[in-house]
Structure 1
Amino acid sequence: MGKWNVHHLSDILDSWGIMGHLAGALLAYVQTLVPFVPFVVVAGANVLLFGLWLGFLVNYVMSVLGAITAFWFARTYGRTWVEKKLGKYPQLAKFNERLKRNGFLYIAIARVIPVLPSFAINLGAAVTKVKGRDFFLGTVVGKLPMIFLESLIGHDLLYFHHNKGRLLLLLLVFIILMLIGNRYKRKWFGSDS
């Protein structure tokens, strides 16, 4: 979905008035549950629709609510089956115990530093021993900087000519976070887990 499509989507939603604004917010929620496009696309459309700061707030709140919904649904309906499967893998069982003791830290770090896609964090945490409270707090804290970064990137991509320098800096930060995330992924899920 390119720049024109984000503008077009934003224009359509804006033409619907308050219902379009509600639909834009709902897109951020649904995208968290079922990632059908990169979040930065939805974030960009909402930033156009609501403005930078309100768009960021809408993206953040709806993303957190979507993550909590996905966690609850997976924990309610899929946990028992996955726990049986995890028993076959001693490394995962060890990691699961770490999640039980330090769930907030792992969730917050995984949200700030993209160790796994957000969708995978939601579902993976739900079927492990991480406490619901740790998931919630880790999500609230960890999503804040990442959603802000994605909202700014979405905004600056749309207004590239005005924000080239900041966009390049934001993309550099994002790439660095991805590299750090890959290192954590190897550390947490590699052979030394």
Structure 2
Amino acid sequence: MRKWLAAAVYGMLFVAALLYQNELTAWFHHRPPVPAMLGMTTLLALFPVVPYKLVVGAAGYMYGAWWGGMICLIGSTAAGALVYAAVKYAYREQARIWLAKYKTLDRYTRFVDKHPFESIVLWRVIPLLPQMAVNVYAGVSTMSFRVFVLGSLIGKLPGIFVYSFLGGTLSSNPLLSLQVLIIYLLFTGAVLWGYKRMTRAK
């Protein structure tokens, strides 16, 4: 049920953006300087008061798919690194208590211990857990900072650049944007299916 709900939410956001593209165009007319946008993407990744996919789409619209994607990739990875460091060195016990509500983690703990890099890449690709939970869990686990950052960068690449591309092409080519979104959702669904089979086998 939750998977279908997430897909429905993404679909509604896509339709809403299409219906209100003129309003969005007016809102994004004055784009901020790149350093300011980088700070904003980092802050919104730390405090996700709006869906981050909308932030990525907005950056893609304002700066183009490539630069918008790069800004959000750097910003979201920097936010994750800050959370990782805070948990690893200051809030480890509090993080363990907070993570206890995510029962799904128990199933994958052994797999993460044996395959930390593959785990962080896959968790960034597929919507298995909230990204903040992934950041906190990585800080609690034995995963090294280098593995966390490199795995996060690689895992975030597909989703961020897809949504940045959607933001850059939605108003000019909505049909292409819809096709790309569908292909991406099918891709993440296939990866999720494969990951669950792999962890069960392990």
With the length of structure 1 as denominator, give the TM-score of the two structures.
0.75
Q: 1:95 to 1:115 in 2, by over 3 A?
A: closer
1:176 matched to 2:189? The reply is: no
Is the aligned partner of 1:7 residue 2:25? yes
Quick one: which amino acid aligns to residue 25 of structure 1?
L
Find the partner of 1:135 among 148, 152, 170: 148
Q: Does 1:104 align with 2:114?
A: no
Deviations 1:112-170 (A, max 9, x none): 2222222221122222232222211211111111211121122233x1xx323321222
Are 1:28 and 1:63, in contact at CA under 8 Å, matched by a contact in 2? Answer: yes
Could you give the per-residue CA deviations for residues 45-84 of structure 1, whole angstroms, max 9, x where no partner exists? Answer: 2223323321121111112111111211222222234457
* 1:48 matched to 2:85: no
SS in 2 for 1:11: coil
Cα distance, 1:187 vs. partner?
5.8
Equivalent position of 2:162 in the other structure: 149
Q: Does 1:167 align with 2:177?
A: yes
Code of the residue aligned with 1:147 in structure 2: it is I
| Structure 1: tracts of 5 or more residues without a match | none
Q: What is the rounded CA distance, in whole Å, between the counterparts of 1:66 and 1:86 in structure 2?
A: 18
Match of 1:68 among 81, 85, 89: 81
After the TM superposition, which residues 80-99 of structure 1 pair with which residues of structure 2 at under 5 Å, given as runs? 80-83=93-96, 95-99=108-112
Tell me the secondary structure at the aligned position of residue 156 of structure 2: helix
- For the structure 1 residues 94 and 167, does the alpha-carbon distance in structure 2 shift closer, same or farther, using more than 3 Å as the test? closer
User: What residue number does 1:125 align with?
Assistant: 138
Question: Relative to 1, partners in 2 of residues 1:48 and 1:171: Cα closer, same or farther, differing over 3 Å?
Answer: closer
Moved more, 146-155 or 78-87: 78-87
Paired residues, number: 183
Maintained 8 Å contact 1:114/1:181: no
- Counterpart residue type for residue 147 of structure 2: D
Task: Tell me whether 1:30 sits opposite 2:48 in the alignment.
Answer: no
Residue identity (%): 24
Q: CA RMSD in A?
A: 3.3
Q: In the alignment, is the contact (CA less than 8 A) between 1:35 and 1:119 conserved in 2? A: no
Structure 1 pair 25–5 and aligned structure 2 pair: CA distance change class (3 A): farther
Matched residues in 1 for 2:164 and 2:75: separation?
Answer: 13
TM-score normalised according to structure 2 size: 0.72
